[in-house]
A and B are shown apart, each in its own frame.
Chain A
Amino acid sequence: MKIAVIVFPGSNCDVDLYEALRTVCDADVEYVSHHDSSLDGFDAVMLPGGFSYGDYLRPGAIARFTNIMPAVVKMANEGKPVFGTCNGFQILTEVGLLPGALKQNNQQRFICKTVPLEVVNNQTMFTSQYQAHERIQLPIAHADGSYFADQKTLDELEAHHQVVFRYAEENPNGSLRNIAGIVNRRGNVLGMMPHPERAVEAILGNTDGLKLFKSLLEHGRITVEG
């Protein structure tokens, strides 16, 4: 499975995603510039965290208009895995691949800490290695991570098991229904505010994010290598 990590101007977790995949998971991964317009030859695409275009205007609002985004949308429409963390999640909502929006944290401050999460749906290509309702800890690091959508959208998300991660115990940013990560209806586009790529090595004190990448690579092994 060949994975693209998109580098937008201002992306800064691109290296972290790349290293988690390459060094820790021994995956086939390449950086792709926002200037490029094709993702031919890739089986999955990841949108990293950071501050694309400085978060100016609105996080993700400018990045969604870059050259590479039509190719990302195309992959999503083909049912290939598309993953966005933090700013990547914000871009996915801005481009319309995921519903809702990420608003400023309710305390109006950037917040960096490790929080408890519940894996609500382990029946996705991104979470199959987790137990149902498994409690994990992942770092968050964002100023705009408060998930918002109208009641109808929220009900639909729940009805179709699209809520994949929920904040457990405490809600760090004011997200509605404690939502930390969602998939699209088809289940191939995942966006989440927490950073699984920061939790893949014991030396950094946390390996709870590893199963996410392992799940995806396992999915790739089955679907791509058949």
Chain B
Amino acid sequence: MKQAMTPEEIKAKKPYLDWSLSEVEYDYISKKLLGRLPNYTETGLFAAMWSEHCSYKKSKPVLRLFPNKNSRVLQGPGEGAGVVDIDDGQAVVFKAESHNHPTTVEPYQGAATGIGGILRDIFSMGARPIASLDSLHFGELSDPQMRMKVDGTVRGIGDYGNCMGIPTVAGETTFDPCYQGNILCNAMSVGLMDQRDLQRGTANGVGNAVMYVGAKTGRDGIHGATFASADFSDEHATQRSAVQVGDPFMEKLLLEACLKLIHQHPDWLVGIQDMGAAGIVSSSAEMASEGKSGMELNLDLVPQREPNMSAYEIMLSESQERMLLCVKKGHEKDVQKIFDFYDLDAVTIGRITEGHDYVLYHDGQEVCHIPVSSLTDDVLEEESREAKPERITKAEQAPQWQPQITDPAATLRALLQQSTVADKRTFFQQYDSQVRTCTVVGPGSDAGVIRVRGTKKGLAMTTDGNGRFVYLNPEAGGQMALVEAVTNVVASGAEPLAITDCLNYGDPNDPEIFWELHQSVQGMADACRVFDTPVISGNVSLYNENNGKAIHPTPMVGMVGLIKDLDYIVPSFAQHAGDLVYLVGQTGDDYAGSELQKMMKGDISGTVQLLDLDNIHHYLQQLLAQMQIGNVASAHDMSEGGLGVALAETLFKTDLGMNLDLRSLSAAQLFAESAGRLVVTVPVSAQAAFEKSLGHDAQLVGNVTNTHWLELHLQDAELNQNVTELQHLWEEAIPCQLKSKD
């Protein structure tokens, strides 16, 4: 097929600028990498592969701050997903990915294909996905259009995951005006595998086949990668074609076929990779680069859903539910038979060649002939300017906001009805959380827990991110995101293993936003080192802006922890009247960025202190050791709404109450959001051992009672509140807002 423009026309008309390739990059490619002008197809491939989404050219220098190794890590960043040893020859595989831009434009398909993409990353490694998590950040529910987007997003996640038969077991959903024009939809998938089945995205061995398997290629999602690398504005209202459409049934078949091939015939397979962002070009070029090979593809052989697609469209299509395999020569028919059983296409579209060239043929003509490395390894890293925002300098000098709370019961009732705090049952009941019958703890707890069949082991998992703290102090906010995840995982009795992340920020060309990215990653990285939880996978989502207004910087941490013996799993709610109640961690006047501040002031302000990470690490280790010998009856992390909300949640769904002497705290401090704290209940019989182990880091404040009342004696107020009423308010807040006719 004729190219849409000649190389000379491209040089003159610069269409690549619309594809987010800069003039400097174009010149570098022409003069330094190729020594000639790239043709139309090649220019398109460069634009996609050199986009931030594929190349991380802006964020790479910052990502290098993360630790990504320890004795358990079997595979760090760079593959479909990270892999961690969980003993007995088994491994847990996990990764999170953002699908913010598609979900903002078309919530249902955006969220659905977000799930689809992350699942393929897991099973391309040879693992069976066993659980999904999400991290959703929306604008306020008072906006009717936002209610529609929330509904679409939740249905999209549910319909895809439910059909695939993978339980959604944990997650977070928050609401803040900063996400009004750009919602965040981050999905995490966790898989389980035998270590011997580990696969990599590589292609090598001259003559070996490059096989295309799964759904046919259409024109959907072209420019998805560059789309995610530019910000939204009302001027570009027609970006719908960049959103892909999902088919979970097709993906289920693809999952079963790929795992059958990997588990039963590993000797036929050289490598396997998902066709994600930038479709065939990214998967094939990355596999060739990894295998240090050359590759030739004949695009006429690619299964196509539509006629007359150009080479450019075929290569850049982001049609879903497709995988690329490198198969040993002679086994092409064997592989095809496996996919035939599932009625899936499996077609040899090319071969591994000598040398390192990436060559494409279309309509009998060579349409691309460039070095593999020019697409994958030679990308110009971009130095970014950084500047500390004035708002932060100002806030550091200004006095901190001090709330006046006279009726703590009224404040607690109001906080429990804030949509970020309120019960999310309305959403998570639309997700099948039990399929595969391994869900020991489902949604609505600190962390989801999945058992590992045939063993005593369990995996605890959580997603956490709070953009408000990061906005006020990126470094401290980064620390807090990690500490929150660690606290949630420890609360269920698990030892934190490693993390994945989604780094959601605004336009990195703005020096203040790049500074936020750098500072918060520094905070996360420091905390990762202290807790020995390396970053094994993740993604970066920049340009989360609407009409020039950026979201709060929102790094999301997805963490998995190992429970060695499920007999010692710890629930998040109180168990027995008479048990002792402890506060673990230190409570300060930490109101900046709190739910209380947002509720009372309508916005957040002030500054957030850096954490004493070593101390938090120390007492969480002690707490975990107590859990592992059965000395802890329940544990619940304190997050939005602080101690007050955590106490109420500890009593919901029980018929118990608490009577606590909190005279060391003011009524306001009941709602402070100091990081790394938990409410823990301990049987009286374990009091001595527990106190000896936790020392000053745990404060005995009272007992679990059998009255279903919360009775708190604070420094400057009393709180006496029926828990049934609190639970009712907490449960009805979101259904009530969704029914609003405004």
Contact = CB atoms under 8 A, between A and B. Distances in A.
A203 interface: yes
Interface string B140-176: 0000000000000001001100111100000000000
Interface stretch (B11-19, B359-367, B436-444): B436-444
B437 A198 contact: yes
A216 to B, nearest CB: 18
A109 B155 contact: yes
Interface string A6-18: 0001101101100
Interface in B422-447: 429-440
Interface string B235-256: 0000000000001111011000
Contact of A141 (B249, B342, B435): B435
A1 B634 CA distance: 43
A112 B430 contact: yes
A13 B435 contact: yes
Nearest to A51: B163
Contacts of B440: 203-205
B432 A110 contact: yes
Contacts of B249: 9-10, 51, 53-56
Given A109-B155, A111-B429, A12 B248 contact: no
Contacts of B248: 51, 54
Interface centre among A16, A50, A110 (most CB of B within 10 A): A110
B741 interface: no
A195 interface: yes
Contacts of B435: 12-13, 16, 49, 141, 198
Contacts of B439: 204
A109 B163 contact: no
Contacts of A94: none
Contacts of A204: 434, 437-440
B429 A113 contact: yes
B741 to A, nearest CB: 18
B210 interface: no
Interface in A110-155: 110-113, 139, 141, 143
A92 interface: no
A193 interface: no
A19 interface: yes
A109 B165 contact: no
Interface centre among B247, B430, B451 (most CB of A within 10 A): B430
B433 A12 contact: no
Contact of B430 (A16, A56, A111, A205): A111
B434 A54 contact: no
A16 B163 contact: no
A208 interface: no
B731 to A, nearest CB: 13
A110 B430 contact: yes
Interface string A199-213: 011011100000000
Nearest to A114: B434
Interface centre among B163, B253, B431, B451 (most CB of A within 10 A): B163
A110 B566 contact: no
A195 B434 contact: yes
Interface centre among B165, B249, B451, B566 (most CB of A within 10 A): B165
Contact of B451 (A12, A20, A203): A203
Contact of A54 (B247, B343, B430): B247
A113 to B, nearest CB: 5
A16 B433 contact: no
A217 B252 CA distance: 31
A12 B434 contact: no
B431 A197 contact: no
B437 A9 contact: no
Interface size class of A (residues with CB under 8 A): 20 to 34
A160 interface: no
A200 B437 CA distance: 9
A109 B430 contact: yes
Contacts of A111: 429-430
Contacts of A141: 162, 432, 434-435
Interface centre among A9, A56, A195, A200 (most CB of B within 10 A): A9
Contacts of A50: 165
Interface centre among A9, A53, A112, A198 (most CB of B within 10 A): A112
Nearest to B249: A54
Interface string B528-567: 0000000000000000000000000000000000000010
Contacts of A20: 437
B450 to A, nearest CB: 11
A186 interface: no
Contacts of B342: 9
B566 A203 contact: yes
Contact of A112 (B159, B343, B432): B432
Contacts of B434: 112, 139, 141, 195, 198, 204
Contacts of A15: 436-437
Contacts of B566: 203
A185 interface: no
Contacts of A143: 159, 162
A18 B162 CA distance: 19
A177 interface: no
B740 to A, nearest CB: 17
A141 B161 CA distance: 12
Interface in B405-431: 429-431
A35 interface: yes
Contacts of A49: 435
Contacts of B430: 109-112
Nearest to B439: A204
A54 B163 CA distance: 7
Contacts of B252: 9-10, 12, 51, 54
A102 B341 CA distance: 29
Nearest to B165: A12
B32 interface: no
B437 A55 contact: no
A56 B250 CA distance: 11
A199 to B, nearest CB: 9
Contact of B429 (A53, A112, A205): A112
B692 interface: no
Contacts of A112: 162, 429-434
A205 B164 CA distance: 24
Nearest to A52: B249
Contact of A19 (B155, B158, B429, B453): B453
Interface in B226-277: 247-250, 252-253
Contacts of A203: 440, 451, 566
A197 B163 contact: no
A197 B435 CA distance: 10
Interface centre among B155, B158, B162, B342 (most CB of A within 10 A): B162
B436 A110 contact: no
Interface string B347-383: 0000000000000000000000000000000000000
Interface string A172-203: 00000000000000000000000101101101
A197 B341 contact: no
B159 to A, nearest CB: 7
Nearest to A49: B435
B59 to A, nearest CB: 36
A90 to B, nearest CB: 14
A19 B437 contact: yes
30 contacts: A9-B249, A9-B253, A9-B342, A9-B343, A10-B249, A12-B435, A12-B436, A19-B437, A19-B453, A51-B162, A51-B163, A53-B249, A54-B163, A54-B249, A54-B250, A56-B249, A109-B158, A109-B430, A110-B158, A110-B159, A110-B432, A112-B431, A112-B432, A139-B434, A141-B432, A141-B435, A195-B434, A198-B435, A204-B437, A204-B438
Given A12-B164, A20-B437, A198-B434, 8 more contacts: A51-B249, A54-B249, A54-B252, A112-B430, A201-B437, A203-B440, A204-B440, A205-B440
Q: Return the 8 tightest CB-CB contacts between A and B, nearest first.
A: A12-B165, A54-B249, A51-B163, A16-B437, A141-B432, A112-B432, A110-B430, A110-B158
